[in-house]
Amino acid sequence: MCKKDIQLILFSAILLVVSFPKIDQSFLAWVALIPLLYAVEGKGVYRSFLWGWLCGFVFYIGLIYWIVVVTTTYGKLPYPLGILVMLLLVSYLSLYFGLTLATSRFIEEKTAFKVPTTLPFIWVTMEYLRTFLFTGFPWENLGYSQYHSLLLIQCADITGVYGISFLIVYINSTLYLLLRGIPDKKIPYKEIILALFIVIVVALYGRM
């Protein structure tokens, strides 16, 4: 296990956590996945799954720690058992993070599509599945971090929260491609132009 990869994964998870209430620094969501993308760069399907799962594990612990309070206060479970229930739920939810990264890597290995290209689509698909599968867990979708960005979230009347999540992941992916391309002067102009176009359209719709 590479120390640098672990640091990048933890950095992504922390940025994601602080994007949500109560810390509520929602602007960080737009760059939070970049360290994770660096960590999984060049990794195989299994390692991408593992790194994604670990990022999700730290992320969900940071957000749904309150499960312990609920299960012990209202469910009358012993405190250690309440912690165990929370950790089991976190482990399950983290699978969606891992599957997102692993699926993106698998597609990259089988096709010409790179992880940043497929990631937004797979991310929102996994969020949708998590919302309804096995009774569902509809909390903590990435788009919810932008609840107070009124200009951007108006398009949710068309796309739901998944459209906001898609936009966040797409911007993260585009910025990652930009950072990776700068040293070799390989600027992803098409991706940047498309990202700017989408943001402008969403903002104009929100303004109207």
H or E segment and range at residue 5: helix 3-19
| Structural domain boundaries enclosing 192 | 3-136+144-207
Tens digits of residue pLDDT in 57-66: 999 999 999 9
Residue 114 has pLDDT above 70, yes or no: yes
Tens digits of residue pLDDT in 51-94: 999 999 999 999 999 999 999 999 888 999 999 999 999 999 99
Residue 46 has pLDDT above 90, yes or no: yes
Residue in 54, 50, 13 with CA at minimum distance from that of residue 32: 13
> What is the pLDDT averaged over residues 90-100?
96
> What is the pLDDT averaged over residues 178-207?
89
First-to-final CA distance of the chain: 50
* Number of domains the chain is built from: 1
pTM of the model: 0.94
Using an 8 Å Cβ cutoff, are 41 and 105 in contact? no
| Contact partners, residue 156, CB within 8 Å, separation at least 6 | 143, 163, 164
